[in-house]
Structure 1
Amino acid sequence: MGINEESGKEKAGKLVKPTPLKKEKNIVPSSEAYALQTIEQDFPENEVRILLLGVDGSGKSSVAQLITGGEVLQTAKKSSKRISAYYPCIRNGRRYVVVDSPCLFHTRIAPKFVITEVNKLIGLTAPGPHICIFVVPGVKLSSEEKQAMSRIQNAFFPGAIDNSIIVLTKSDILNSDGTSIEDFKSNAAPVVQNIMTKCNNRVVQVDNVSGDKDTQRNQIFDMIQDVLQSNTDTFYTNDVYTLAQVNLRVHKQKAKEKYMSSDEGIPLLDKIKEVERVRPLNDTTRENETAAASQDMMETELERLKEQMLQVVCDQVRDGILQESITPFELNLRRLLTSGTKAIGKFLSFMWFVP
C-alpha cells in the first residue's frame, strides 16, 4: 500500500503516512476557546455528501444542476469542467453537498492531475460520501470509456455498493427508441451491466431534453432517501478518509476559531454561555415544565447555531481545498512523479482504491 506502518519513515519508492499538522496556540480568547471545547464534531450532522462519478460527457454537471435545482450552484468554485467542484443545497430542511468529479480514469489523463484531483475529492467528501452516484450515459460507450468505467467500478466496489445508485442520462435517446431500462441493461457493455447489478438495479432515468425536471429531481431524491434510510445515514469511508480527517481537523479548528471571533459567531458564543449557565439550574428543577421547556428550546437553538457554524467552516475548508491552499495529504508531488508509474499506482491504491 505504499505505507511503512511500523517505522513511519520514508523509503525509496514508498509513501509516508501523513503527519498531522501542528495546531497553533493562543489564537483566540479563552472564553471562545472554552466554547469551542463544547463543539466536538467536525462536520454538520444534518449534511449529506453526494459524490458524482462517471466518464467525460456522461452528464455529471447536468445531474448536479438537477439535484440542486440549479439556483445555488457555486459556479465560482469551478473554473473548468475538468476539475472538481462542489454544490451545496437545502432540501426539506436537510443540507446536501454535491461533489462533481472529473473523470480520472482515462489513460490519457496526466498523473499529476490525477494525484491532485483525487486529493481534492477526498477532502471535499471527507469523512466520506453518503451517496455515490454513477452517471451512466444511455448510449454506446467507446472502448476507452468502457475501460474508464471499469476502473471506476474497481475503485468503489465492493466498499461503496450499499451507498451507490445509478443515474442513467441521455434517456431521450432511449425514449425515442422505446427502450426500457431492462432492454438497455441487456444490451449494454458488460461493465455497465455489472455496475447496474451490483447497485441492485437502483436506477433513475434522466431526460434533459423533454423530461420534467421536478419529477426527475424527486425521483433521484426518493432513491437517495431510500439508500440513506437503509444505511441509517451511514456514509462510505475507509482508512484514507480517517487519515485525511486528521489533517483537515487542524484547518477546521482554525476556521472555527476565526468564526467564533467574527460577528457571525457572537450569537453562538452567547448561546453556549447561556446554556452552560442555565443547564445546571434546570437539571435540578426538571419537574418544572416551564423550566424544562425553556431549556429544551435553548438546547435546540444551540444545536441549530452549531450546525450553522459547521456548515460555514466545512465550506471554507472545501474552498481552500479547491484553491489548493489546503490539502488532506502533504505530499511531495515532484518526488512521486519522478518515481515512475509504479509509485503512482501505489499512491492511488493507498489514497482511495481500498475497500
Structure 2
Amino acid sequence: MDRSHSPSETLVPLKSKRGTKVVKNYRLVLIGKTGEGKSSTGNTILGRKAFATAAYAEALTQECTTEKCLIDGRQLMVVDTPGIFGTGGSDKSTKKEILKFLGITSPGPHAIIYVVSMQERYTEEHKKAYEHVKDMLGNHSDTHTIVVFTNRDNLEADGNTIEDYMNHVPVPLARLISSVGCRYVAFNNRAKGKRREEQVEELIQKVDDLIEANRGLCYTSRVFETTEKALVAKVKYEVDPILMQSSKDVAKLREEVEIKRGLIETLKKSAKLVKPQIDKETLEFLQLRVVNDGKINQIQEECDNKVEEIRDNLRHSIETNKVSVQQEWFTSGLKSIAGGRLQDIIET
C-alpha cells in the first residue's frame, strides 16, 4: 500500500547547521532482515511514528509503504519494505513486493538504507539476507548503499561506542561494510529531540556524500534491468546443460515407452490368436475331468461294495466257526460223560 502524502501534510523540519535554502528531493529505501528495526529507523528519520513497529521479531510490514518529510532543506521520500526471510509470505512474493520500490521511487532511489541490528550476533542468516539483496539488486547496489546499525542505546548502555563495535565485527559483516565503501551510521531509535536530530543529520550527510560520489545518479531501473539480464544469463548458463540432459533423458524414456508399447500390442495380437486354442483345450480338459470324475465315482462305489462283501463274508465265517467250535465242545463233553458212566458200569 502506497501511503504517500503531499509534502505539506508531512513536513518535519530540522534546524539547518549548513544554512542551505535549496530544496532537494531525496528518495531513500529501507531494506533488511525481519526484526532488525527497519520501520523504527524510518520513524526516526521522519520524526514521527508513521510505520508500524513491534517489540517482537514478526514481519509487520507486508507491503511497500511510503512517507515523506522535509529535513534540513531536503524533501525526503522514505520507503519501508517487507523484511527479508519474514513470516508474512514466500520469498518469491516478498521479493516481488520489495522490488515495487523501483516504481514508487521512479526513476530510482538515491540511497538504499540497509538496516542491521547490533542487539544480536551477526549470524549466517544475516549473511544470507544481504546476499539475497545482492541477488535482487546486483553488485551495482553497493555504490548506493548505506548501512544503519540499530540498537545503539544498548551498545552505549554497556559503555561501548560504534567504533568499539566495528573493531570486533565478524568477517562477513566487515566485508559487507567494506563493499559499501564503509558508509555506516548507528541509530538509537528511542532517541528524542536533539539526539534524534543529530543522528538523522549524520545519515543525511552520508546521503549527500553518496550522491556526490555517484555524480547525482540514483539507483535506476536500468541498473536493475542490467542486473536482471545478467542474473537470467547466469541462470540460463547453469540451467541449460541440465535442460539438455533432461531432454536427452526424456527422449530416451519416450523411446523405451514406444518399444514397450509395441511389445504390448504384439502380445495383445498373439493373445487373440492363442485364445481360441486355449479355450478349446480348456473345454476338452473340463469334459475329460467330468468323465474321469464319473469313473472315479464308479470305482469308489465298486470298492465300497467289495469291502462290504468282504466284511459280510468275514462276519459269516466268524459265526460259522463259532457254531462249529461249540458243537465240537458239546460232542467232546458228551463223550467224556458217556465214557465215565461206562467205566462205572464195568467196575460195578
Q: Could you state the TM-score of these two structures normalised by the residue count of structure 2?
A: 0.50
Q: Which has the higher Rg, Structure 1 or Structure 2?
A: 2
Of structures 1 and 2, the one with the larger relative CO (CA 8 A, separation 6+) is 1
Structure with the higher fraction of residues in helix conformation: 2
Q: Could you state the TM-score of these two structures normalised by the residue count of structure 1?
A: 0.49
